[in-house]
Amino acid sequence: MTETAIRELLERVAAGKTTASAAMRDLRELPFADLGFVKIDNHRSLRRGVPEVVFGEGKTAAQIIAIGKRVASSNLIVTRLDAKKAAIVKKGLHGMTYYPEARIGAAIKGMPPLTGHGEVMIISAGTSDIPVAEEAALCAEFFGNRVTRLYDVGVAGIHRLTANLETVRRASVLIVVAGMEGALPSVVAGLLDKPVVAVPTSVGYGTALGGITALFGMLNSCASGITVVNIDNGFGAALAATLINRVGLARDGA
Amino acid sequence: MTETAIRELLERVAAGKTTASAAMRDLRELPFADLGFVKIDNHRSLRRGVPEVVFGEGKTAAQIIAIGKRVASSNLIVTRLDAKKAAIVKKGLHGMTYYPEARIGAAIKGMPPLTGHGEVMIISAGTSDIPVAEEAALCAEFFGNRVTRLYDVGVAGIHRLTANLETVRRASVLIVVAGMEGALPSVVAGLLDKPVVAVPTSVGYGTALGGITALFGMLNSCASGITVVNIDNGFGAALAATLINRVGLARDGA
Amino acid sequence: MTETAIRELLERVAAGKTTASAAMRDLRELPFADLGFVKIDNHRSLRRGVPEVVFGEGKTAAQIIAIGKRVASSNLIVTRLDAKKAAIVKKGLHGMTYYPEARIGAAIKGMPPLTGHGEVMIISAGTSDIPVAEEAALCAEFFGNRVTRLYDVGVAGIHRLTANLETVRRASVLIVVAGMEGALPSVVAGLLDKPVVAVPTSVGYGTALGGITALFGMLNSCASGITVVNIDNGFGAALAATLINRVGLARDGA
Amino acid sequence: MTETAIRELLERVAAGKTTASAAMRDLRELPFADLGFVKIDNHRSLRRGVPEVVFGEGKTAAQIIAIGKRVASSNLIVTRLDAKKAAIVKKGLHGMTYYPEARIGAAIKGMPPLTGHGEVMIISAGTSDIPVAEEAALCAEFFGNRVTRLYDVGVAGIHRLTANLETVRRASVLIVVAGMEGALPSVVAGLLDKPVVAVPTSVGYGTALGGITALFGMLNSCASGITVVNIDNGFGAALAATLINRVGLARDGA
Amino acid sequence: MTETAIRELLERVAAGKTTASAAMRDLRELPFADLGFVKIDNHRSLRRGVPEVVFGEGKTAAQIIAIGKRVASSNLIVTRLDAKKAAIVKKGLHGMTYYPEARIGAAIKGMPPLTGHGEVMIISAGTSDIPVAEEAALCAEFFGNRVTRLYDVGVAGIHRLTANLETVRRASVLIVVAGMEGALPSVVAGLLDKPVVAVPTSVGYGTALGGITALFGMLNSCASGITVVNIDNGFGAALAATLINRVGLARDGA
Amino acid sequence: MTETAIRELLERVAAGKTTASAAMRDLRELPFADLGFVKIDNHRSLRRGVPEVVFGEGKTAAQIIAIGKRVASSNLIVTRLDAKKAAIVKKGLHGMTYYPEARIGAAIKGMPPLTGHGEVMIISAGTSDIPVAEEAALCAEFFGNRVTRLYDVGVAGIHRLTANLETVRRASVLIVVAGMEGALPSVVAGLLDKPVVAVPTSVGYGTALGGITALFGMLNSCASGITVVNIDNGFGAALAATLINRVGLARDGA
Amino acid sequence: MTETAIRELLERVAAGKTTASAAMRDLRELPFADLGFVKIDNHRSLRRGVPEVVFGEGKTAAQIIAIGKRVASSNLIVTRLDAKKAAIVKKGLHGMTYYPEARIGAAIKGMPPLTGHGEVMIISAGTSDIPVAEEAALCAEFFGNRVTRLYDVGVAGIHRLTANLETVRRASVLIVVAGMEGALPSVVAGLLDKPVVAVPTSVGYGTALGGITALFGMLNSCASGITVVNIDNGFGAALAATLINRVGLARDGA
Amino acid sequence: MTETAIRELLERVAAGKTTASAAMRDLRELPFADLGFVKIDNHRSLRRGVPEVVFGEGKTAAQIIAIGKRVASSNLIVTRLDAKKAAIVKKGLHGMTYYPEARIGAAIKGMPPLTGHGEVMIISAGTSDIPVAEEAALCAEFFGNRVTRLYDVGVAGIHRLTANLETVRRASVLIVVAGMEGALPSVVAGLLDKPVVAVPTSVGYGTALGGITALFGMLNSCASGITVVNIDNGFGAALAATLINRVGLARDGA
C-alpha cells in the first residue's frame, strides 16, 4: 500500500539502489500526490488533457487573464463569464472562444478523446434554464463525453421528451436542469433506470426563493436515485456526470 | 421493449389472435404499467429480484403490515423503523429480520445476484452518523452491490481513511455520510476520481440546523464532482449508487 | 338581504310600528350581526344546517366541551382531536362520534342536503397523508358535498389514478393532498381542466421542512390553475372546495 | 374519450382497416398526446381560442419573438414584459398590444366567447399592487371571463369596498391582491360566501420579506375558504378563477 | 357619537322628517363611514389637522401627484421619496417641500397645534441610521408633537447620551433607532422608566440580514418595556409615539 | 437627581464632612448604582412596591426557590411556571399563589396602588391565546393598573368586540393577543386612536411558524400605530402598557 | 523545513546512520504528524496530558463506554451527558466523576499543569445559561487554565460585573455566555481590551430562534474584537480560550 | 487607574485645591469618559496611536469627510470605501491614501510601534476572497502588528500552504478568510495549535446564501478552537487578532 511504497523506497535508499535526492523527489510527490493530501491534486486523471476550470464571477478580467496565463500550457474554461468581461479577457488570452449562451470562455488546444460508457444527456425545462444547461453541456464535452441535448421540455414541450424516449434511454447519465418547482428530474427519473444528476436553477420568482424551492423539491423527490448539485451549477453536474460515465473503466484507458 | 410489447399485441389483434376488447383491457394496463408512465413503475430493472422499500416513519405498525402483505411475493425493506414498532411488525410479517443500528426491517426471500462494476463503499464521519450509514450499506447490499464499510473516520480516526487508501480507491462509487459541517465528502472526493454521493445527516446542534448546514456545505464543496441527497437519506444514496455502479452494463445481464 | 332587513326596519319605524328606541336596539345589533361586518358571520349560508368547526389542537378537553355546549343546537365538528382527548370529550358531549383516522370528533344532528355542481374528489399521495385527506373528506361531506376518495396514488399506486381517469374527470373540484416534494397536484392538474385545491402535508424529513417544501413546490407548479391552503389544512381545503362547488348556484336553492 | 379512441383504433386493426404498423404509429402518439400524459396538453379546453401564455421575465426579446412566431396561429400573452423589451418584441411580433400597467404584451386575434357562471372580480389593496391586479384582470378577460375591477381598497379606500357590496356579492369568484400583511382577502372572505383566490404581492419592506409575510398571513387566515397562489402571480390566479367560474358547465358549451 | 347619529336619524324617520328610503341611503353610508368599520377612518382624531401620509416607494411620480391632488385640502406627507422622484412631484404638487435626509416630501398648509404630555425624543445610533430617525422626527413634528433629536449615539458618541441624561429623562416617549445588533434601545430603556418605541434599521451587512437581526435582538431585549415596529419604519414609530404621548388626554382638547 | 447626589457628596467632602476615602467608597458605588449604568437598576420607579419578575421556564424548582428567597422582602412573580414545578415551588416559597391559566406563580405581599391614566384592556383572539393574555392581564394588575379583559374575540366572537365598543374606547392602552395570521391588532387599532401593544402567540400550525407569521403580519399592519413585543411575551406587553399608561404622570405621585 | 527534515532523514538512511525500519517509523509519523495532514493529530500539544473530549449527545451509553475504554490511558471528558446516561456510563468507566450542572462526565487521572498568561474568566448572563458556562469553565480547567467564574450578571446582577471590574480586567481571556438578545459580550468587550470569546446559548423563546438571534447579535456587535463559537458550545470556547491564553508561549514550556 | 484619578480628584477637593463645582464638572465627564462606561471609550489602549475606524458603506462622501475632519488629530481608516467615493473623499481629507484591493482609505500620520507576541498571518482561499483578506491585513498592520499574507490557498494552491508550513506555524494568530463551504479554517486549525479567527465571505452562489453557509460551516467545524466573526468582516478579525496577539503583555509596554 502507500506505506509499503514508502518502505520499499526507503529500503532502496538503504540498499543504495536509489539516491537520497531521487528518493526525495519521489517522496516529495508521494505525500501530496499519493498519500491523498486533501485537495492537493484533485481530479488527477480528469486533468490529463482536460481544461482547468476557473469560476469567472467575482473576478476581474485582469485576474482571469493572470490565472489564464499561469495555466497557459493546458486547456482553460472560464465559467460565469459575462459578455462584457469576455471581450476584455479575449484580448488578453489568445485562442479563447466565447460561448454567450453558456456564459463560458474556453481556450481549448485540443479536445480530449471521447471516454465513458455512453452519452451524457442534458435535459432542460424552460428557455430560461438554457444558460445553465449549456454550461453543463459544454463542460461535459470539454471533459471528453459524447453529449446530447434535449431542451425546452416544459409544459409546452414534454412531447419532445416522450418522442425521444429511445434516445433518452440510450444515455448513460442524465443531467436534468430545472427551476421553479423543479419537478422535471422526477419525471425523467421515473422513465428510466439511469443515474440522474439534477441541477436546480434560480429561475422563478416569489417562493421560488432563488432556486431553493427547486433544490428542496429535488431532494425530496419520491423518484429515488436522483442526486443534486448546487443551484445553477452546470459545471459541477458535468464533472459528476463525467465521473459517473467512467465508472469501472480502467483509469489509463479511460 | 414496451413498444415491442404493444406492437406484438397489435399484431395479435391484426392476426385475430386476440379481440379488440381483450387488447383494450391489456392496453389499458399497458400504457401505465409499461410505457414508463411517470413514476408508474419506477426502477423497473432494479426491481427484478430486489426488495420493495417502504418508509416506516409516520406509518403505524398495522399499516406497514398491510403494505407488507400486499407485496408478499417480493422482498421487502422497511426503513426508519424503530425497535418498538419493529417488534409488532415482525409478528405480522413472517420472515422479517430487524437491523436495529440501521433501523431497517427486511424480509428477504433471496439476495439478488451481485451486479455493478465494483464495490460501493460507505464512509461515515462520526459514531452518531452510523444509523444513516448502515441504512445506506444494508440497502446497497439488498440492491445487489458488493459493499465495503469504513466508519468513524472523523478527527480521531482519519488515519483509518488514509491507511485504507488502496481499498478506498478500488471502490466504484462512494457514499460519504457526515453531519455537523459536512466536510468529509470534500476530503474523500479530493483523494480520488470516483463519483461521491454525499449524505448530510441531522447530527449536530445549534447552527447545524438539523442537517441543513452539512447539506449546504456539501453543495458548495470546492471539490467538484460531489452530488448530494436529502438529509439522513441513506436509502436514496444506496439507490443512486446502485444506478451509478451499473452504468454501461447491459440491462438484462446486469 | 341585510339591506332589505334594514329597509324593513326603517319602514316599520316610519309606519310607527316600532319606536326609534327599539329600532336603535335592533340596529345596534344589525350592523355587526348582519351587515357583513368583518368576520362577524363568516360563511352565513354555509352555516344553515352545517356544523360549527372547532380547532381541537391546543385546547383542553374541558374547553372543547364548553364550546361544544355553547353551540349545542347546531352540528359540531372538532378537528385535530387526538384519541385520548376525544375519549374525554365524548363523555361531555353526547352524540359525538370519533373518526380516528381523520382525528375528527363530530356531533351531527342531521346531514345537510347535498349541494353543488358535482363531486368533490379527494386524492392523496401516500399512506402518511391519509389523516389530512380524511379531514378534508369528512369535512366536505359534513358541508353537503358528494365526496369521492382516491388514496395512495404515489409511486406504487399511480395506476389507480390513471385507471380511474373517467371518475377523476367527472369531479367538479379536486382536493389533492401530498407531502415531500408535493408534486401530485401538478400531475392531477395536468390531467384535467378542473379547479385543484392543493394541500401540502408535513409528511417528510430533512429538507421537507415540515411541509414548507411541498407548499413552495405547489405554489411554483408549472401546471397553473392550482391554488393552495396551509400545511395539513384539510378542513380549509374542504371549505374552499365547497364554495367552489357551489359557484353560480342560487344561494337559497344551494 | 381517449379510451374510446384507442378502442376504435383497435377495432379498425381487428377489422383489418388499418395495419398493426400504422396503429403502432398512432398509438405511439396517442398515449402522450391524448391520454392526458402529464403536462402534455395542459388545460386543453381552456386553450380552445384562448391565448398561449409566455412568462417574459428572464427571456430575451429575441427568445420571446421566436416563441411568439411558433404559436403564431393562436392568441399570445406575454406576462412580466417590461416596456423596453416590449418595444423590441412589438417590432418582431405584428399585432401585439402592450399594456404597460399590467406589464403584458398580447397578440389577440379574437377575444374568446364569454363563459362561466358570472363575473370574476379583481380587488386590490394599494396603488403598488395594481400591476399584479391588472395582470390578473387582463388574463381573466383574455380567458373569456366577464371581469370587474375594484382597486385601491386600502386604509383610505375601504369605503369603496363597502359602497360596492352588492356588486362584490354578485361576483362568482374573487381575486384579491394584497401585499404587506396581506389582510384584505380575510376582510373580503368575511363579507361573502364565494371562492376567494388570494394573491400575495411583493409590495412592502423589511419583514414583508418580498411577499412571504403576506403569503403566510393569507395561508393562516381565520376566514377559511381562501386559497392562495404564488407571490405576484396574477396570471395563475386568473387561470384558477377561470376554472372555478366554469365549474359544472358542460365543457363544449363552456 | 355614531350611535347618537343613528338614533337621531331613526327619530327623524319616526317623526316623519325623513323617509325610510332617504334614511336607508344615509344608513347605508353610516355604518361604514362612521361606525368605526375596520380601517375605514383610521386615526380619526389624529387626522384633524394632520397630514395624509403616502408611502412613496413603489409608486410613480405620476401616481403620487394624483393621490396628492385627491387629498389637496388636507396636509400631505410622502415618505420614502427619493430626490429624483421628489423633483418631479414638486412640480405637480404646489407647496411641497422636500427633506432629503428624511426622504420626505411634505405639503403642510399649517402645522397642527402642539399636543401630548411632553416631548418625543428621537435617539439614533449611527450616521447611517439618520434617514430613518429623521423620518420619525419629521413625522412626529407634523403630527403635533414637540420633538427632540439626539443622533449619533454610537460607540464614539454615547457620552452625548449620558451628557444629556436630564433631557433624555424629561421626554415622555422615546423612539430609538438602531441597526446592526440593535442594542441601543436596551441601553436607553435601562436608563429610564419611559415607553421606548424601538425602530430596527436595515443598516449592516452579512448576518445583519437587512434588519432582521436588529429586530429580533430588540424583541428579545432583557430590558423589558420596549416595543418594536417594522424595519426602517420611522413613520410608524412616530404615529405610535404620538398616540402614547396623548394617553389620557381628552380627545377634543388633544 | 444623581448629579445632585454626587454634587452633595462633593460638597460634603469640600466641607470636610466626609473624607476622600469614604467619598471614594460611595462614589465607587454611585456610578453603577445610581447613574443609570446600563440595566443596573432597570425600571426603578416601577419597582417601588411592584413584584420582582422571574422567568420560570428553563429554571429548576430549586433555582426558582433560591431566587425567590433572595427577593423575599419584595413581591415576586414567576412567569412560565408549569403546574408540576409550581407545586414544588409553592412548598419552598410561602405565600405563593399559582394561577394555572396564566402559568404564573405570585407571592404578593400587598397590591401596589392603582396608577395610570385609565384602564389597560387585554383583548385576545382565540381560546388557545388565553394563557398569554392572562399572563399579560395578571402582570398588568400586579404592576398597579386597572385591567379589563375581553377574550375570545375571534371569528365566532367579534360581536363581543363591537358590542363593547364603548368600553374598548374608554381604555388608555390596549394589549391585543393573537396567533395564526395575527390580524386582530389591525382590527382593534382601526377602531380607535389608542396605543395598541400587539402580542403575537405561537398558536397555529404549518406556516404559522411558531408565531413568526403573526409577528411579521403585525409589524406590516397597515393600521399604523401598533407596536409589537416578542412571541408569547405577555409579561413584556404588560410592562410596556404600564409605562404607557403612566406617561406624563409625576413619578412620585404615579 | 519539513522537506528538509525528510531530506535529512533520507540522507541518514543513505549514509547508513539509520535503518529503513527506523526511518519508516519516523516517516510514518512525519506525513501525518508533521506534514500537517488534515485533522490527523489535531491540537497535539494540548493533548499532552489533557483529556480526550467526547460529545455525549446522540451516543448511547454503550458507545461512550466503548470509546472511553479505547482512550483509557489518557484523561477523558464526556460533554452533553445527561444524568441518566451518566449513571450507566459511570458503571462502565471507572474513575469517572459526573458534574450535573455542566452535564460533563470526566475521568481525570491527573490535572494538567497550569499554563497560559493568566486567568480565563467565564461570565454568564442568566441562571439558565449556567450549564453552558460550566461546560466552558470545567473544560478550561481540565485544559490547564486558571479559571474564574462570574455568573448571573443579568439585569438584576450587573453590579456584580462592575463591582468586580478589577478582577475582570486582570483576566487574559474572557468567555462570555448569553442567550436571548446576546448583548452581554458587547458590554464586557466595551469595558476592556482583552479577547472576548462569545458563546450564544439556546436560552429564550419565540424570536430567540434557539440561539440564532443571540449568535447574530454577537456577530453584529459594534464592540469589535469579539469572536463567536457555535450555540451552546462551551467546550469549543474553552479550547479557543486555551489557545489564546498560550499565545507566544514556548510550546514545550507551555 | 480611573479610580486613582477619582481618588486624586476627591483628595484635591478635600484639600481645598479644587471646588466642589469644578470637581463636579470633572466628575461629570469622568464616569463616562474614563470609568469604562459601556462602549464609551472602547479599546482604549489600542487607540493610543492607532487609527479611528469608520465604516464607509452607507455613508456619503460628505459624511465621511465630516467625520474625518472631526478626528483629524488621530489616524483614520475608512473601510468599505468604493473607488468612486474614495476619489471624492481624498479631495476633502488631505493625506489619505486609497487601497483599492482592500477598499480602504487611510490617513495615517505615523504607523504605531510594532506590538504583540508575533506575527498575525492572513490566509485566504480564493481570488475573490482577497478584498476581505486585504481589509484584515491592512487593518492589522495599522493596529501595530507584524503581518504575513498567504493568499490563494484553494484547490489549486494548497501546496502553497504546506510549502510554507514553517512560516505558518511561526505565526501567533491566524486569520483565515474563506467563502463557499468555508472549509479552509478547519484545514488550517488542524495543522497547528494557534488561535484561528475565521472570516466567512459572501463569495459563492446559490446555497452559499451570501456567506451564511460558510459561517455555519465554520461554527460547526470539528476542528475546535476556531472562533468566527461576521461575514466579510476583515476589520473585526484584525481587531480580535490584535487583542489576542497582545495577551499577557503589559498594557503600557504594549
The predicted model gives G190-213 an average pLDDT of: 91
Residue of D nearest to F180 (CA): D220
**pLDDT recorded at residue E2:** 46
Residue H221, domain member (yes or no) = yes
Least confident of B146-150, C49-53, D207-211, E211-215: C49-53
Q: Which residue has the higher pLDDT, F148 or H166?
A: F148
What is the average pLDDT score of chain F?
82
Does the residue G47 lie in any domain? Answer: yes
Residues belonging to chain C with any Cβ–Cβ distance to chain E shorter than 8 Å: 3, 6-7, 10-11, 13-14, 16, 19-20, 23-24, 27-28, 31, 35, 37-38
Q: Tell me the mean pLDDT in the region B14-22.
A: 80
Contact E20 C3 (CB under 8 A): no
Cα distance from D44 to chain B (closest Cα, Å)? 20
**In the predicted model, is pLDDT for residue A112 greater than 60?**
yes
Question: What is the percent of chain C with per-residue pLDDT over 70, rounded to a whole number?
Answer: 81
pLDDT at position C154? 67
pLDDT of residue D152: 84
For chain B, which chains pass the contact test of at least 3 CB pairs under 8 Å? A, C, D, G, H
* E243/F225 CB distance under 8 A: yes
CA F109 distance to own-chain centroid: 18
User: Cβ contacts (< 8 Å) between B189 and chain G: which residues?
Assistant: none
- Taking each helix axis from N to C end, the angle separating G83-92 and G61-70, rounded to the nearest 10 degrees, works out to 40
Task: Provide the CB-side half-sphere exposure for G224 (13 A, CA).
Answer: 25
Query: Which chain E residues contact residue G220 at CB under 8 A?
Result: 180-181, 204, 206-208, 213-214
Nearest-by-CA chain B residue for D39 = B38
Q: Is the pLDDT of residue G107 over 80?
A: yes
Task: Supply φ then ψ for residue F138, to 5 degrees.
Answer: -60, -45
Contact between B14 and D10 using a beta-carbon 8 Å cutoff: no
Please say if the pLDDT value at position F31 is more than 80: no
Same domain for C137 and C64 = no
**What pLDDT, on a 0 to 100 scale, did the predictor assign at position D22?**
75
pLDDT category of residue A155 using cuts at 50, 70 and 90: low
Closest chain B residue to D34, measured at CA: B31
Closest by Cα among C12, C92, C55 to C235: C55
Same domain membership, residue H98 and residue H127: no
Q: Cβ of E183 and G222 within 8 Å?
A: yes
Q: Does a structural domain hold residue D16?
A: no
Residue H252 lies in a domain: no
Residue A3: the pLDDT is 52
- What is the nearest CA distance from E206 to chain H, expressed in angstroms? 5
Domain check: are H154 and H133 in the same one? Answer: yes
- Residue E187 pLDDT greater than 60, yes or no: yes
| Cell 419592506, located at residue | D205
Contacts of F203 in chain C (CB under 8 A): 58
Tell me, what's the pLDDT at A240? Answer: 95
Q: Are residues D143 and D84 in the same domain?
A: no
Kindly state the average pLDDT of the residues B148-155: 83
What are G124's three cell numbers? 454568564
Number of CB pairs < 8 Å for B and H?
74
Q: Which domain holds residue D44?
A: 26-107
Provide the sign of the torsion angle of the four alpha carbons D84, D88, D90, D93, taken in this order. Answer: negative
pLDDT at A46 over 90: no
Residues B70 and B182 in one domain: no
- Packing angle, helices F2-14 and H2-14, rounded to 10: 50
Chains near A with 3+ CB pairs less than 8 A apart are B, C, D, G, H
Q: Are H67 and E127 in contact (CB under 8 A)?
A: yes
Cα distance between residue G72 and residue F4, in whole Å: 66
- pLDDT above 70 for B33: no
Which residue, H78, H107, H136, sits at the end of a domain? Answer: H107
The answer on pLDDT for F137 being more than 90 is yes
| Smallest Cα distance from E22 to chain F, Å | 26
On the question of pLDDT at D239 being above 70, the answer is yes
Give the best-scoring range by mean pLDDT among A7-16, C87-96, D164-173, H180-189. Answer: C87-96
The answer to which of D21-25, G173-177, H187-191 has the lowest mean pLDDT is D21-25
On chain H, the residues whose CB falls within 8 A of the CB of E205 are 57, 230-232
Q: What distance in Å separates residue E65's CA from the closest CA in chain G?
A: 40
User: What digits encode the pLDDT tens for the residues G227-242?
Assistant: 999 999 999 999 999 9
Q: Are residues F232 and F123 in the same domain?
A: yes
E91-105 pLDDT tens trace: 999 889 999 999 999
For residues A198 and B228, what is the distance between their CA atoms, to the nearest angstrom? 10
Interface of chain E toward chain H, CB-CB under 8 angstroms:
127-128, 154-156, 158-159, 162-163, 187, 203, 205-208
Confidence check: pLDDT of E45 > 50: no
Q: Which residue of H has its CA nearest to A33?
A: H159
Q: C132 and C61, same structural domain?
A: no
H181: which chain B residues are within 8 Å (Cβ-Cβ)? Answer: 183, 186, 216-218, 220-222
Instruction: Say how many domains are in chain E.
Output: 2
Give the global pTM: 0.85
What is the reported pLDDT for B49? 46
Least trusted range by pLDDT, from C164-173, D162-171, H139-148? D162-171
Positions in chain H whose pLDDT score sits under 50: 1-2, 28-49, 252-254
- Give every CB contact of residue D218 below 8 A, 6+ residues apart in sequence: D182, D185, D186, D198, D200, D226, D228, F181
Q: Say which DSSP state A55 is in.
A: E
Average pLDDT, chain A: 82
Do B236 and B166 share a structural domain? yes
pLDDT digits over C214-230, tens only?
999 999 987 778 999 99
Q: Which residues of C touch D237 (CB under 8 A)?
A: 227
Res E131: pLDDT: 95
C222 and C140 part of one domain: yes
Considering only CB atoms, C14 lies closest to which of E20, E27, E35, namely E20
Q: Which of B25-34, G193-202, H7-16 comes out lowest in average pLDDT?
A: B25-34
Contact F24 H6 (CB under 8 A): yes
F124, F218: one domain: yes
- What average pLDDT is seen over chain C? 82
Q: Is residue D77 included in any domain, yes or no? A: yes
Nearest to E227 by CA among F210, G206, F195, F41: F195
Cα–Cα distance measured from residue B181 to residue C55, given in angstroms and rounded to the nearest whole number: 40
To the nearest whole Å, the CA of E206 is away from the closest chain G CA by 9
H-chain residue closest to F21, CA distance: H7
CA distance A117 to A250: 12
How far does F155 lie from chain C, in Å, by closest CA?
5
Of the residues F68, F87, F107, the one at which a domain ends: F107
Flag if B10 and D31 touch (Cβ within 8 Å).
no
Check which CATH number belongs to the domain holding A201 and give it.
Answer: 3.40.50.1970
Instruction: Tell me what the mean pLDDT of segment E37-43 comes to.
Output: 32
In this structure, are A99 and A213 located in the same domain? no
pLDDT tens column, C4-21: 666 777 788 888 888 877
Could you report the predicted ipTM of this complex, rounded to two decimals? Answer: 0.82
In the A/B pair of chains, how many CB contacts fall below 8 A?
156
Query: Residue E21 domain-assigned?
Result: no
For residue E154, tell me if it sits in a domain: yes
Domain end: E59, E83, E107, which one?
A: E107
* F-E interface (Cβ pairs under 8 Å ≥ 3): yes
pLDDT of C116 reads: 92
pLDDT, tens digit, 9 for 90 and up, residues G74-94: 788 999 999 999 999 999 998
pLDDT the model gives residue A18: 83
Beta-carbon separation of A43 and B226 below 8 A:
no
Cβ contact D183–F213 (<8 Å): no
Residues B142 and B98 in one domain: no
Measured CA to CA in angstroms, residue G195 lies from F36, G219, H122, H175 at distances of 27, 14, 18, 14
In this prediction, residue B102 carries a pLDDT of: 96
What are φ and ψ of residue E181, in 5° steps? -85, -10
Q: Do chains E and A touch (3 or more CB pairs under 8 A)?
A: no
> Which residues pair with residue B177 across a beta bridge?
B124, B199
> Which residues are bridge partners to C105 per DSSP?
C78, C98
Residue B159 within a domain: yes
Residue of C45, C117, C166 lying closest to D193 (CB–CB): C45
Mean pLDDT of chain E: 82
Going by pLDDT thresholds of 50, 70 and 90, the confidence category of residue D158 is low
